Structure 1
Amino acid sequence: MGDSRRGWVVSTVVLACTTAVLALTSVALWVGTYDGRRDVELATVAEAFADRIGPSADATEAVCREPVLCTQALRSDGALLMAFDRQDEASAAAAALGGDSRLAGYVVLRFEDGRLSQEERAGLAATLYCLHIGPDPC
Structure 2
Amino acid sequence: MAFIGVLFGLFGLSKWLLDYDGRQAIDLVGYVESPSPHMPKAEMASEDLCSDVVPCVQAVDSETLTMRRFESAPQASAIAAMLGGDVRVAGWIVVAFKPGALTDEEKEDFISALYCAHVPHDPC
Q: TM-score, normalised by structure 2?
A: 0.90
Partner of residue 99 from structure 1, selected from 56, 79, 85: 85
Partner of residue 62 from structure 1, selected from 42, 48, 61: 48
Please give the alpha-carbon distance, in whole angstroms, between the structure 2 residues aligned to 1:34 and 1:77: 32
Q: Computing the radius of gyration over CA atoms, which structure comes out larger, 1 or 2?
A: 1
In the other structure, the counterpart of 1:132 is 118
Unaligned 5+ residue runs, structure 1? 1-14
In the other structure, the counterpart of 1:114 is 100
Counting only pairs closer than 5 Å after superposition, residues 24-43 of structure 1 correspond to structure 2 as: 24-43=10-29
Report SS of the residue matched to 2:119. coil
Please give the alpha-carbon distance, in whole angstroms, between the structure 1 residues aligned to 2:24 and 2:31: 13
Structure 2 residue 8 is the aligned partner of structure 1 residue 22: yes
Structure 2 residue 77 is the aligned partner of structure 1 residue 86: no
Tell me if structure 2 keeps the 8 A contact 1:47–1:55: no
Q: Deviations over 1:85-127 (max 9, x none)?
A: 0111100111112111110000011111423210110111111
Runs of 4+ in 1 over 3 A off after TM superposition: 45-49
The number of equivalent residue pairs is 124
- CA offset at residue 66 of structure 1? 2.0
92-101 or 23-32, which deviates more: 92-101
Please give the alpha-carbon distance, in whole angstroms, between the structure 2 residues aligned to 1:106 and 1:46: 18
Write the letter of the residue equivalent to 2:123: P
Unaligned 5+ residue runs, structure 2? none
Q: TM-score, normalised by structure 1?
A: 0.81
Report SS of the residue matched to 1:51. coil
Please give the alpha-carbon distance, in whole angstroms, between the structure 2 residues aligned to 1:66 and 1:96: 14
The structure with the largest helix share of the pair is 1
Tell me if structure 1 keeps the 8 A contact 2:32–2:43: no
